[in-house]
Amino acid sequence: MRVVACPQCGTQLPWEGNRYRPFCSERCRLVDLGAWLDEKYTIPGPLDDESADTGDVAPVPGRDRRSGPEDG
């Protein structure tokens, strides 16, 4: 049996006999549909100028993890 993962929630479900495919349920289908509709019909308006965080990019600390020996 062919099994696919719901692109919305990742639930594994059989492909055959699924009326909501590629989603697992109507809910996930609507969520995804609403997502791209919302993106498509986004009204270009004035953005909130509260967050003015441009520039100042702090270096990411703590990237000295070494790959230790793997004992199997």
| DSSP 8-state assignment for residue 20 | T
Q: Is 13 in the site for Zn ion (CB under 5 A)?
A: no
The minimum distance between CB 44 and Zn ion, in angstroms, equals 31
Nearest to Zn ion of 10, 62 (CB atom): 10
- Tell me the pairing of strands 12-14 and 3-5: antiparallel
**CB-based burial label for 4 (10 Å; 0-12, 13-18, 19+):** middle
Cβ closer to Zn ion: 7 or 37? 7
- Under the binding rule (CB under 5 A), the answer on residue 28 touching Zn ion is yes
Interacting residues with Zn ion between 36 and 65 (CB under 5 A)? none
What is the number of other CB atoms lying within 10 angstroms of the CB of residue 6? Answer: 19
Instruction: Report the interface residues with Zn ion, using CB under 5 A.
Output: 6, 8-9, 11, 24, 28
